[in-house]
Amino acid sequence: MDKPKTHRVFFALWPDLETRRAISRHAIPSLENVAGRNVDQHQWHITLAFLGNISEEMLTCVQQQAAQVSVQSFELTLDTVGYWSRPKVVWLGSQNMPDVLKTLVTDLNVALKACGYEPEYKDFKAHMTLIRKVTRRPANIQFMPITWQVEQFVLIESSFASTGSDYRILRQWSEVNK
């Protein structure tokens, strides 16, 4: 019998073109001496909730539940670079997590519970991975902060490609299109 089809999915904030350009222009040059594998700019994102491999039924459920979550536009200032030694990643983040973002993650987690989802981490830390396979903590990274006007959150399907993971936006939710 065929294996039931599964989808590897996650909810994320997806930077618009202007934000990606600002990151390329301001943050990336400050990281040029960091040795590792750069994430392609078309893949930059901030994961809100990672569901992993789920069934078609669960995919339907999570989309229905996500539609119940209220979305409010907010400003996110990307002003800090961090390093995590275990996943060996350098990421871009914010020193101040906006309350609207905290609420969005909490609401999403609550909504997804109805589909059987349990968040893995209690303390969500918004981060955009920029470089992988980094084995040394970068020192003294300075750059001009980037202001991102976040208008929506998205559901992404991740699939394995020869070049690494390939992401596809399945759906998006914003204040206006709900």
Return d(Cα 125, Cα 48) in angstroms, integer.
9
Which one among 120, 135, 139, 163 touches ligand ATP, defined by CB under 6 A?
A: 120
Return d(Cα 178, Cα 70) in angstroms, integer.
9
Query: Tokens for 140?
Result: 């003294």
Report the largest interatomic distance among the alpha carbons of the chain, rounded to a whole angstrom: 56
Residue 47's φ and ψ, nearest 5 degrees, are: -70, 130
Identify the bridge partners of residue 27 per DSSP, sorted by sequence position.
none
Q: In the complex with ligand ATP, which residue's Cβ is closer, 47 or 80? A: 47
**Does the footprint of ligand ATP cover residue 10 (CB under 6 A)?**
yes
- Binding span for ligand ATP by CB under 6 A among 24-32, 62-70, 138-146, 158-166: 158-166
Restricted to residues 126-155, the positions that interact with ligand ATP (CB under 6 A) are: none
Restricted to residues 63-102, the positions that interact with ligand ATP (CB under 6 A) are: none
Site string for ligand ATP, 28-47 (x = CB under 6 A): -------------------x
**Does the footprint of ligand ATP cover residue 8 (CB under 6 A)?**
yes
Which one among 26, 28, 50, 171 touches ligand ATP, defined by CB under 6 A?
A: 50
Contact 37, 131 (CB under 8 A): yes
The residue type at 102? K
- Binding span for ligand ATP by CB under 6 A among 58-66, 109-117, 143-151, 157-165: 157-165
Number of residues that bind ligand ATP (CB under 6 A): 8
Identify the bridge partners of residue 161 per DSSP, sorted by sequence position.
164
Our CA dihedral for 24, 26, 31, 36, rounded to 10 degrees, sits at -20
Which residues form the interface with ligand ATP (CB under 6 A)? 8, 10, 47, 50, 120, 158, 164-165
